[in-house]
Amino acid sequence: MKPEEEDILERPIPIDEDQAERVRLRIRRKLPGRRLDKYLHARFPRLSRTAIQRLIKQGAITVNGQPTKSSYEMCGGDVVELVIPPPEPREVVPENIPLDIIYEDEHILAINKRTGIICHPARGDQTGTIANALVYYANQLSHGEDPFRPGIVHRLDKNTTGVMLVAKTDEAHWRLSLQFERRTVQKTYLAIVHGCPHLDGDTIDAPIGVHPVVREKFAVMVRENKIDVAKHAVTHYEVAERYKGYALVQLFPKTGRTHQLRVHMSHIGHPIVGDTMYGGRVISEFDLTGTGSVEPLFAHQALHAWRIAFRHPIHERPMEIEAPFPPPFRTLVNLLRSLSSA
């Protein structure tokens, strides 16, 4: 039986358009042994099975209104809803975007990422990314598994600053990826948070999943109906400096979930300054002193990927790279120090 005889398509799918489309399928009969990801790949061949699995993990595909797994076996009466993304760009276009290179050799380079720039092309952002800048800057970059992420081994959120590693060769990419997979890479972030934690340090062990209402957000969650809607997530923190109503903390992620540090700090009641998505507030000099400018000191989350420790992928020697603070971060720290010592 053909796919169109197995389900009812309740909305047309403009496969060739550049806009994402929300689609609903009503399955007419049980499909023995037919996994959800395999069925959708056959139904929408433009979407690779890997892309479908990624959408399922992101919560962009649901069955009967609930998150599910790629291995879910289709049943008659099921209602499958999915958001089909627009076609990916065919290539990464080189763009002369300044990069702050803090280390480089023939195998890898490290950049100090600025705020407001995403790492690679995605829906709605096919230019102006770190990947576009890297293609312009470097004569050689690794290919990796995704042609739209040349050289990119790991990522930082759009408004998170700090150190990012880039692979120039496929061998370097593979060996660095293994280190990230085995969690032997040690990452240290610095964040300015609201309030002062009572403890000088602690470990936050709380699973994270897609927010049940706002799909662009993540939240600490639990397992429901034997379906893993949350993933294991662990963050260790240490208080570096205490101020009046704020603190500078070092964050050591032990896992790498999306928005993990931001979600975890909000979860314990100390959201990151400027992180309005997770309860943080944008603050100004006037907010802190009662005088001065009302312009925000930090217009985004005060989170900086400060240090990364790893083994060189080719020479295997231990390496540690630090990224200097961006000026707004340093300005806010200095102001908080001065107010706390007054």
Residue 182: which residues within 8 A CB-CB, separation 6 or more?
none
**Is 275 labeled as catalytic in the residue annotation?**
no
Q: Which of 37, 78, 157, 275 is catalytic?
A: 157
Please state the three-class secondary structure of the chain as a single string. Answer: CCHHHHEEECCCCCCCCCCCEEEEEEECCCCCCCEHHHHHHHHCCCCCHHHHHHHHHHCCEEECCECCCCCCECCCCCEEEEEECCCCCCCCCCCCCCCCEEEECCCEEEEEECCCCCCCCECCECCCCHHHHHHHHCCCCCCCCCCCCCCECCCCCCCCEEEEEEECCHHHHHHHHHHHHCCCCEEEEEEEEECCCCCCEEEEECCEEECCCCCCCEEECCCECCECCCECCEEEEEEEEECCCEEEEEEEECCCCCCHHHHHHHHCCCCECCCHHHCCCCCEHHHHHCCCCCCECCCCCCEEEEEEEEECCCCCCEEEEECCCCHHHHHHHHHHHHHHHC
Euclidean distance between CA atoms 165 and 138, whole angstroms: 14
Residues with a catalytic annotation lie at 157
